[in-house]
C-alpha cells in the first residue's frame, strides 16, 4: 500500500488510485469491529491474528490450527457459503518473509450480502486442517489446491490429484515449476523416446530449443537432460556453455523473435 501514493503524480488522473488509499489507516482492531465481521470475530477473537482491508474487501488472517473452528464460527454467523478456496505460493513475492504458502477462503453471507476472506499461512510440510467437515464444497477446492501447489490438508476424505494425472511429479502452480513444463518421467513410448526422456508436460517431447516458450525463459532451464525432474541446478550448468560461442548475438535475437 505504501507504493500507492507515489504512483498518482506521474499519471495524470490522480483521483482514482487515491480512493483505496484511505482504508489502510484502519488498524487491525478497526477492521475486526467492522459490522460485517464483528459478531463472527467475537466468537473466535483470539484465533484471528491479523486483518487487512484493501479495495473494500476484508481479509482476516487466522490461526492455521484453528481454521476449522474459525470457519464454523463464521458459518454459524451467516457466512454459510464458501465461494472459493485458493492457494498462493508466496516464495517469489517481493519482501516476503515467513511461511511459503497461503490458503484463502472466500466466504459469502446471504443475510448481510457481504463477503469476507479468511487466510492462513502454511509451508509445504505442515498440513492445513481440512474444512470439508464445515462445507462439502471444500472437497474439490482443497484437492485442486493440493494438486496445483502441494499444500497438504489434514482430515480430507480423499486428498488426491484432480486436474493433473495420478503419479505426476510436481505441483504446477508453485513458483519454482517452470512454465514450459517438466520431464514427467512417464515412459509411454519407449521405442520413440530415449531412456528416461518421456513426453514432456506442455510440449511434444521435442528438444528444448525447438519448443516455443514465453519470454525466453528457456535460458534459465536450458536443454533437458535425461530423467531430469524439476528445476535442478544441472540444466543451468548445461545451458551456460551452450550460448557461450556467440552470446551477444544469440541472446537479443531470441528476445526480438519473441
Partner 1 sequence: MFDVHEMEVNFGPQHPSTHGVLRVLLKIDGERIIEAKPIIGYLHRGTEKLFEHMAYPQCIPHTDRMDYVASATNNLGFVEAVEKILGVTKLIPRRAQILRVILSELQRISSHLLWLATHAIDIGAMTPFFYCFREREQILDLFEAYCGARLTLNCMRIGGMPEDAPHGWLDEIEAFCAKFDAAVDEYESLLTTNRIWKRRTVGIGVLSPEDAIEWGITGPPLRGSGVEWDLRRAQPYECYPELEFDIPIGRNGDTYDRYLCRMAEMRQSNRILKQCIPLIKQTTPGDLKAKISKVIRPPEGEVYHSIEAPKGELGYYIVSDGKTQNAYRCHVRPPSFVNLQALPMLAKGHLVSDLVALIGTIDIVLGEVDR
Report the nearest approach of partner 1 to the CB of residue 36 (Å).
13
Report whether 199 contacts 183 (CB < 8 A). no
Report the nearest approach of partner 1 to the CB of residue 175 (Å).
8
Nearer to partner 1, 46 or 160 (CB): 160
Report the nearest approach of partner 1 to the CB of residue 228 (Å).
20
Nearer to partner 1, 104 or 238 (CB): 104
**Would you state the torsion angle of the CA atoms of residues 53, 62, 37, 73, taken in this order, to the nearest 10 degrees?**
160
Report whether 185 contacts 175 (CB < 8 A). no
Q: Which residues sit at the interface with partner 1, rule CB under 8 A?
A: 1, 3-4, 7, 11-13, 16-17, 19-20, 54-55, 57, 59, 80-84, 86, 88-89, 92-94, 104, 106, 110, 113, 115, 117, 135-137, 139-141, 144, 148, 161-165, 172-173, 177, 179, 202, 214-215, 217
Nearer to partner 1, 48 or 106 (CB): 106
**CB-side exposure of 198: number of CA atoms within 13 Å?**
14
Nearer to partner 1, 56 or 245 (CB): 56
Nearer to partner 1, 7 or 27 (CB): 7
Q: Cell 513444463 appears where?
A: 181
Q: What is the DSSP string of 64-80?
A: GGGHHHHHHHHHHTT--
Radius of gyration over alpha carbons of the chain, in Å? 23
Nearer to partner 1, 15 or 248 (CB): 15
DSSP, collapsed to helix, strand or coil, labels residue 153 as strand
Length of the chain as a residue count: 258
Report whether 84 contacts 131 (CB < 8 A). no
Report the nearest approach of partner 1 to the CB of residue 133 (Å).
11
Report the nearest approach of partner 1 to the CB of residue 189 (Å).
19
Cα-based distances in Å from 92 to 34, 99, 100, 232: 32, 12, 9, 17
Report the nearest approach of partner 1 to the CB of residue 194 (Å).
25
Amino acid at each position: 500500500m505504501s507504493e500507492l501514493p507515489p504512483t498518482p503524480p506521474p499519471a495524470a488522473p490522480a483521483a482514482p488510485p487515491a480512493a483505496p488509499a484511505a482504508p489502510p489507516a484502519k488498524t487491525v482492531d478497526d477492521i475486526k469491529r467492522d459490522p460485517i465481521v464483528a459478531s463472527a470475530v467475537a466468537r473466535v477473537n483470539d484465533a484471528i491474528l491479523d486483518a487487512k482491508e484493501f479495495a473494500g474487501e476484508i481479509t482476516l488472517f487466522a490461526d492455521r490450527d484453528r481454521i476449522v473452528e474459525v470457519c464454523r464460527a463464521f458459518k454459524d454467523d451467516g457466512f454459510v457459503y464458501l465461494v472459493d478456496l485458493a492457494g498462493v505460493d508466496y516464495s517469489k513475492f517481493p519482501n516476503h518473509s515467513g511461511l511459503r504458502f497461503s490458503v484463502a477462503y472466500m466466504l459469502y453471507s446471504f443475510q448481510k450480502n457481504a463477503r469476507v476472506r479468511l487466510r492462513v499461512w502454511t509451508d509445504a510440510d505442515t498440513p492445513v486442517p481440512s474444512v470439508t467437515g464445515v462445507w462439502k464444497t471444500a472437497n474439490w477446492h482443497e484437492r485442486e489446491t493440493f494438486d496445483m501447489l502441494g499444500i497438504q490438508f489434514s482430515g480430507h476424505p480423499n486428498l488426491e490429484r484432480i486436474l493433473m494425472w495420478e503419479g505426476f511429479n510436481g505441483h504446477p502452480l508453485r513458483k519454482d515449476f517452470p512454465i514450459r513444463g517438466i520431464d514427467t518421467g512417464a515412459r509411454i513410448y519407449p521405442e520413440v523416446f530415449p531412456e528416461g526422456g518421456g513426453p514432456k508436460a506442455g510440449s511434444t517431447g521435442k528438444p528444448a530449443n525447438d519448443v516455443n516458450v514465453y519470454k525466453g525463459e528457456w535460458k534459465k532451464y536450458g536443454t533437458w537432460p535425461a530423467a531430469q525432474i524439476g528445476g535442478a541446478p544441472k540444466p543451468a550448468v548445461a545451458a551456460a556453455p551452450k550460448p557461450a560461442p556467440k552470446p551477444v548475438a544469440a541472446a537479443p535475437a531470441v528476445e526480438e523473435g519473441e
